[in-house]
Amino acid sequence: MTKHYLLPDISKPGKIGCSLPELDVPPSELPPENLLRKELELPEVSEGELVRYFIALSQMNYGVDTGFYPLGSCTMKYNPKWHEDLPKFPGFASTHPLQPEDTAQGALQLMFEMQEYLAEITGMDAVSVIPMAGAHGELASQLMIKAYHHKRGDKDRRKILLTDSSHGTNPATASMCRFEIGMVSSDSEGNVDMKSLNTVMDDSVAALTLTLPTTLGLFDPHITEISELVHKRGGLLLGDGANLNSLIGYAKFGDLGFDCIMVNLHKTFSTPHGGGGPGSGPVCARQKLVEFLPAPLVASEDGRYRLVAPAKSIGVIGGFYGNFGVLVKAYAYIRSLGAEGLKQVAQDAVINANYIKEKLKAHYYLPYDRTCMHEVVFSHKRQAAKGVNAMDIAKRLLDYGLHPPTVHFPLVVDGALMMEPTETESKATLDEFIQAMIDIAREVETNPDILHSAPYNTPVRRLDSARAARQPDLRWQIGETKTEK
């Protein structure tokens, strides 16, 4: 193991990591002393040392390019490498968002076409590409729904309904919009319990938020009934499109009854996840909500592209027009695959997940033994009887050189193991993962203790999260030595 160090440990006065030009104009008088800072303490390192430091860190990191990364509902698919070249074209990289529109037609055209493609793919009438992540798109959607009901003169719809398998961003977004939350339970098949929905769906409800397929990886076959019930009682159907990878090319959210849905370009459309962003979460709306979309949209008039504000827009939700550098890559992805290719993506994603489901169900408890879509959720139930939980299983998988699935989510399954292989994994990789999971299941039977202290083969071993939370150490300060064993 290499010695741990931080930037201050390699910093020395006088070093610098890049070269800068000298001043080429006569200097002006400096501002008054009281406006200036007395000292600036940043590290000073040479470029080579900087590069070695970050390369060493990169080698401790596991990404999709390292290996299998089956995080549920994250869609960790392979990122085409040539896409990385695209945002570097000067006509994309070196354009200022406020330069005159006539000088930015290329960029505006790409945004316009993305709006069109996403509308086509989701079966919606208009799209805003501004939201910079799924949660941002969700915020926009809920604000739009609030505006829609207010315009109708209905100020009493103060509730958003969620299912018990919803992602944490769904209720958090509701709070950001001052909506109350109502819960709809799932039935034993993992579908929306229609009796439960019937009870809670009333005129205090603004919308039902549904992830489809659900975070259990299941497609609710009653979607049309759900949509009819919600709409009949004056509510809207809002979608979390995180799981679009299973439906793309097969079904359109608009047809399924959704009024508004956000999609994740960094999931379904293969833009890189970046270690936690940048992402992009466009919001797609049916006609009745189009006027409320965040501003601006790109419109096409006489072959020119213009930024326009929807009539009753919820307003501006970001500094500019969203993550353009991410849009470019998603655009290339859609144009590389076309409708047929995207459909193949969904097919392969669904085949891969069902294959894993069939091969592992003898070894791990499968709470919903039915056809899954692009992801499958197991439970740690059998292993829990031996004192081993989903987290332990995940940690042991790291010793096999594989990234674990999402664990302990969704909460509606006890000790969930949520696996999404995606279509970019070969059968050989899946077989390797399956074998590792089977080997671990065997270890649980014969030697469960080995899992409690796993992992053993990683750059660092299990970390003390309690200590990190009890004694928060969130930064270094220049002057402190940090070199440890």
Tell me the per-residue interface mask from 25 to 54 with another protein, x by CB under 8 A, - otherwise.
Answer: xxxx-xxx-xxxx--xxxxxx-x--xx--x
Q: Is the CB of residue 45 less than 8 Å from the CB of residue 15?
A: yes
**Phi then psi for 408, rounded to 5 degrees?**
60, 25
Q: If binding is defined by CB under 8 A, does position 244 make contact with another protein? A: no
Q: If binding is defined by CB under 8 A, does position 472 make contact with another protein? A: yes
Tell me the per-residue interface mask from 163 to 202 with another protein, x by CB under 8 A, - otherwise.
Answer: ----xxx-xxxxxxxx--x---------------------
Q: CA 11 to CA 159: how far, in whole Å? A: 54
User: Using CB under 8 A, which of 194, 200, 251, 438 touches another protein?
Assistant: 251
User: Using CB under 8 A, which of 89, 154, 203, 287 touches another protein?
Assistant: 89
User: Using CB under 8 A, which of 376, 379, 403, 437 touches another protein?
Assistant: 403
Q: CA 25 to CA 402: how far, in whole Å? A: 56
- Touching another protein, residues 342-361 (CB under 8 A): 342-345, 347-348, 350-352, 354-355, 357-359
User: Using CB under 8 A, which of 208, 322, 377, 412 touches another protein?
Assistant: 322
Q: If binding is defined by CB under 8 A, does position 263 make contact with another protein? A: no
- Touching another protein, residues 113-132 (CB under 8 A): 117, 120-121, 123, 132
Q: CA 378 to CA 390: how far, in whole Å? A: 10
Q: If binding is defined by CB under 8 A, does position 99 make contact with another protein? A: yes
Number of residues lying near another protein (CB under 8 A): 207
Find the distance separating the first CA and the last CA of the chain, reported in whole Å.
Answer: 10
Pairing of strands 159-163, 205-211: parallel
Residue partners of 85: CB distance under 8 A and separation at least 6: none
- Touching another protein, residues 359-378 (CB under 8 A): 359, 371, 373
Q: CA 17 to CA 53: how far, in whole Å? A: 12
DSSP string across 100-167 = -GGG-HHHHHHHHHHHHHHHHHHT-SEEE---SSHHHHHHHHHHHHHHHHHHTT-----EEEEETT--
Q: If binding is defined by CB under 8 A, does position 61 make contact with another protein? A: yes
Q: CA 5 to CA 9: how far, in whole Å? A: 6
Q: CA 63 to CA 223: how far, in whole Å? A: 35
User: Using CB under 8 A, which of 73, 323, 379, 383 touches another protein?
Assistant: 323
- Touching another protein, residues 201-220 (CB under 8 A): 218-220
Q: If binding is defined by CB under 8 A, does position 152 make contact with another protein? A: no
User: Using CB under 8 A, which of 136, 149, 157, 380 touches another protein?
Assistant: 136
